[in-house]
């Protein structure tokens, strides 16, 4: 019955991307929504980040940054509604941001939607690759550690998939990166080796393909998410509630690969915290 007071108020958008980042100064959390200034949590308080804050990010308007992730000890960001990504110096919470233009890489128009790290050995290392994905379903994979150095930043390839179901529709699993698409959950290792027409056959969710396509048609107006819940051997795919689609989610057994429907779970968003799975509902509750 107690209504908590918010640590952050006055925001103009409520769907966030987040990344936890370690420096010599401790553990920090960055959040971005593409409409308001980046927010940085130091374990005690929140700070709005711009070109005058401490730390500061210069070279880009931080309120335009809609997605954040960590790649090779750098923070990377997507600029909303553009073909630009940005990154900060190594092991830094601020500094001069480096622009990464992908306008000449992608061929089908649209804008960047999301990005992530593909770690081929299930850990951070020199074999990690940086993945950029547009809202039209194009994927670019880069190798290297420094986007500002042409000798240390190379395009591995550009690939086509069906549109991705949200900016947080990515999940690292072992030595792969799973992507939630309109055709199902596709491993990036299959994207770079198969024709787009054959990707549905390689989807992790192939056994529930009719159900998957039905829910995509019913719920495609909102972003989907996917988390692992190891304590109960579960993988959970959110199925956001719409006016025509009731509360539900897909759950997969991580040992057997068997799928099930869970009804009544209003999984608007998902997060794993202290080994427990939490979800936010369409009415603003945390469960």
Structure confidence at residue 138 (pLDDT):
97
pTM recorded for the entire structure: 0.94
For the residues 219-246, what does the mean pLDDT come to? 94
Structure confidence at residue 123 (pLDDT):
63
Residue 198 pLDDT more than 90?
no
| Among candidate residues 211, 118, 127, the one with its CA nearest the CA of residue 170 | 118
**Reported confidence tier of residue 195, pLDDT bands at 50, 70, 90:** confident
For the residues 278-286, what does the mean pLDDT come to? 93
Q: Sign of torsion, CA 281 18 164 194?
A: negative
Beta bridge partners, 133, equal 114, 139
| Among candidate residues 89, 86, 85, 95, the one with its CA nearest the CA of residue 72 | 89
Structure confidence at residue 122 (pLDDT):
61
Structure confidence at residue 125 (pLDDT):
63
pLDDT in tens, 55-77: 999 999 999 999 999 999 999 99
For the residues 198-211, what does the mean pLDDT come to? 93
pLDDT in tens, 78-130: 999 999 999 999 999 999 999 999 999 999 999 999 999 999 776 666 689 99
Q: How far is CA 41 from CA 28, 87, 90, in A?
A: 6, 19, 19
């Amino acid at each position: 019955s107690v209504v908590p007071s918010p640590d952050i108020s006055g925001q103009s958008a409520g769907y966030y991307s987040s990344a936890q980042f370690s420096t010599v100064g401790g553990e920090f959390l960055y959040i971005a929504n593409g409409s308001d200034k980046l927010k940085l949590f130091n374990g005690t308080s929140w700070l709005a980040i711009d070109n005058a804050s401490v730390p500061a990010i210069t070279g880009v308007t931080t309120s335009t940054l809609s997605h954040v992730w960590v790649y090779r000890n750098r923070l990377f960001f997507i600029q909303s509604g553009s073909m630009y990504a940005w990154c900060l110096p190594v092991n830094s919470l601020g500094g001069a941001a480096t622009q990464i233009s992908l306008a000449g890489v992608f061929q089908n128009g649209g804008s960047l939607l999301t990005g992530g790290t593909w770690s081929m050995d299930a850990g951070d290392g020199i074999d990690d690759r940086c993945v950029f994905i547009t809202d039209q379903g194009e994927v670019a994979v880069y190798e290297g550690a420094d986007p500002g150095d042409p000798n240390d930043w190379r395009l591995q390839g550009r690939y086509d998939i069906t549109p991705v179901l949200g900016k947080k529709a990515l999940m690292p699993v072992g030595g792969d990166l799973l992507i939630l698409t309109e055709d199902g959950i596709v491993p990036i290792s299959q994207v770079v080796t198969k024709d787009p027409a054959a990707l549905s056959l390689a989807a992790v969710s192939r056994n529930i393909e009719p159900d998957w396509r039905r829910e995509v048609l019913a719920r495609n107006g909102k972003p989907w998410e996917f988390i692992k819940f190891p304590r109960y051997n579960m993988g959970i795919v959110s199925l956001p509630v719409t006016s025509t689609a009731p509360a539900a989610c897909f759950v997969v057994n991580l040992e057997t690969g068997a799928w099930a429907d869970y009804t009544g779970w209003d999984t608007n968003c998902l997060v794993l915290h202290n080994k427990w799975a939490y979800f936010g509902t369409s009415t603003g509750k945390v469960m």
